[in-house]
Structures are given as C-alpha cells and as structure tokens.
Amino acid sequence: MPPVRLSILGAIFVFAVLSACDGDAEPPLIATAIIINESVPGKAMSAGYLSLRNTTHDEISISRVSSPEFGAVEIHESLLQDGVAKMRRVEKLLIPANSTVSLEPGGKHLMLMLPIGAPENISLNFYNDETLQLSVQASLTRSKH
C-alpha cells in the first residue's frame, strides 16, 4: 500500500514545541520528514518514520510517544539476529546533543497501534518521562504512486 506522507511545509506539516525555548531562535527538538504508512488490511497497526533533530547542547531522551488517534504508540527497532528479522520495543530514544536521529524502515521506527477512526490529521506527542518535549500536528495526504 502507498504510504501516507506528512510533508514539512505549509498546511501539510506544522510543528509546535510546547516546552520552553529560553528565547532561542530554534526549538530544542525539531521533527522533519514524517511518513506514516497505511495499515495493512486486517491489521490494527501501522509504522511511522521521521527525523528528530536536537538543537541543544544536551542529550534529549524520549521515553514515551502518544497520539489521540491511536490507542498505543511505541518506539520499536528492527533487528536481524541469526538470520531472523525481529522487532523489539525501545524503552528510551536518545538524541545526542546537536544531532539528528532518524526513525526509518529496517531500523528504529514508531509502531502506531489500534487506530481510533480514520483520522484526517494526526498528532504525535514526544515525552521525556512526563515532560512534553515536542508536539507534532500534521495533515495526512496519500501518496500518488
């Protein structure tokens, strides 16, 4: 199935940082290149991919991701062990200072499970423990492949 794409500019992609920026020109955490794959028919889950850029001089730890459009969102990692593809949950996603971490097919990614309805928009909230680090709001569009 074609992926549902979330682009970065204009009405298609808007990000908002809800944590304090201390007057800096850039927010501490920026999300780009978001792609959410459609669910496979008969499956109540899809995968999400994006890049998270840490603009600070400190490591940022993401311990939880939530979305009102999904019953559960987890960070997972695909691994190849003894020639067998496996997936495991990642408890914390570490984003080093002044670095970008990409969640992509075959590596770390978001598992979006138990969709609530068929949303036109999606919200992803990234937390460090209970502190909201970044909230991404985006309009969904289908790829025209």
Q: What pLDDT is attached to residue 140?
A: 54
Q: What pLDDT is attached to residue 137?
A: 74
Residue 12 has pLDDT above 60, yes or no: no
Residue 41 phi/psi, 5-degree rounding, is -50, 135
Q: What is the DSSP string of 58-81?
A: S-EEE-EEE-TTEEEEEEEEEEEE
Q: What pLDDT is attached to residue 32?
A: 94
Domains and CATH numbers, the chain: 3-139 (2.60.40.1890)
Between the alpha carbon of residue 64 and those of residues 22, 75, 113, 141, the distances in Å are 23, 8, 14, 25
pTM of this structure: 0.78
17-31, 63-77, 110-124: lowest mean pLDDT where? 17-31
